[in-house]
């Protein structure tokens, strides 16, 4: 069964600290993996996208890694800011006979405190 | 104002009623997606349009749900005989090419419509 599991469910950190969010998936055959940031009451916004051949991708203070062998990804946030408080969603796409299937994780809720 | 817009932002209805949710994608985007998001969960795929046609409607939960995109731009998600379990945020996204044509195509999401069925 295609699944995307994220951990932790929620996380509280102090402003200025770093953190790492985890994503494990069992989606097959793998096509790509994306990380989204979703502010409360808003739609998700794409942060990074990685295909099979990529193992790291950065977007400002956000760095995503991908290990396609172990089917794990992480999102590292450096020097956190209050505005980083949001849900971070891992999304994996799999190729199927009709096109692609996209499976969303439940997200990690990050709270950055002053 | 070039983003994806959705109307209404909030909709409260009674069980058994019919509702329509509207999505205006980014101009020129050929692909449009509908998702449903329950509290504390990630979005759940409903349907994907490539142009005017539904390229994948496998996520629609039952035949009470239907979506159209008659001119390849605006889309309407229609829910008949609403049930309390339909309460959720309904998200719409659009992308330039569509995932079937370009798997890495970036989807741009609207703010969602919060549907509450009493």
A to B CB pairs, distance under 8 Å = 58
Give B97→chain A minimum CA distance, Å: 13
Q: What percent of chain B has pLDDT over 70?
A: 99
Residue B103 forms contact with A (CB below 8 Å): yes
- A chain contacts of residue B91, beta-carbon cutoff 8 Å: 43-44
Per residue in B80-93, pLDDT (tens digit) is 999 999 999 999 99
The Cβ-side half-sphere exposure at A45, using a 13 Å CA radius, reads 11
Q: How many residues does chain B have?
A: 118
| B54 CB-near residues (< 8 Å, 6+ apart) | B47, B48, B67, B69
Q: pLDDT by residue for chain A (114 residues), tens digit each?
A: 679 999 999 999 999 999 999 999 998 889 999 999 999 989 999 999 999 889 999 999 999 999 999 999 999 999 999 999 999 999 999 887 777 788 999 999 999 999
Give the angle B64-B90-B18 at the CA atoms, nearest 5°: 35
Beta bridge partners of A66: A73
**Residues in chain A, total:** 114
Facing residue for B103 by CB, picked from A4, A31, A91? A31
Do the beta carbons of residue B93 and residue B83 sit within 8 Å?
A: no
Q: What is the mean pLDDT of chain B?
A: 94
CA torsion B102→B94→B75→B82, rounded to 10°?
Answer: 100
Long-range own/partner contacts, residues A54-62 (CB < 8 A, 24 or more apart) = A62/A35
A106/B41 touch (CB, cutoff 8 Å), yes or no? yes
What are the CB-based long-range contacts (under 8 Å, 24+) for A61-65? A62/A35, A64/A33, A64/A35
Residue B40 pLDDT exceeds 90: no
Would you call A45 and B109 a contact, using CB atoms and an 8 Å cutoff? yes
Contact B47, B53 (CB under 8 A): no
């Amino acid at each position: 069964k295609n699944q995307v599991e994220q951990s932790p469910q929620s996380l509280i950190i102090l402003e200025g600290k770093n953190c790492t969010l985890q994503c494990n998936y069992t989606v097959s055959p793998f096509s790509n993996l994306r990380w989204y940031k979703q502010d409360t009451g808003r739609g998700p916004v794409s942060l990074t996208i990685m295909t099979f051949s990529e193992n790291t991708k950065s977007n400002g203070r956000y760095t995503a890694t991908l290990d396609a062998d172990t089917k794990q990804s992480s999102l590292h946030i450096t020097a956190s800011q209050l505005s980083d408080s949001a849900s971070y969603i891992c999304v994996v796409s799999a190729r199927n006979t009709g096109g692609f299937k996209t499976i969303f994780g439940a997200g990690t809720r990050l709270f950055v405190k002053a | 104002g070039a983003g994806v817009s959705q109307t209404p932002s909030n909709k409260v209805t009674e069980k058994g009623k019919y509702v329509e949710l509207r999505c205006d994608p980014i101009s020129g985007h050929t692909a449009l997606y509908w998702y449903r998001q329950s509290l504390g969960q990630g979005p759940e795929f409903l349907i994907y349009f490539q142009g005017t046609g539904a390229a994948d409607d496998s996520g629609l939960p039952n035949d009470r749900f239907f979506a159209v995109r008659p001119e390849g731009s605006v889309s309407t998600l229609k829910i008949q005989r609403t049930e309390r379990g339909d309460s959720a945020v309904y998200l719409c996204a659009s992308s330039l090419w569509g995932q079937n044509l370009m798997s890495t195509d970036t989807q741009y999401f609207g703010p969602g419509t919060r549907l509450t069925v009493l």
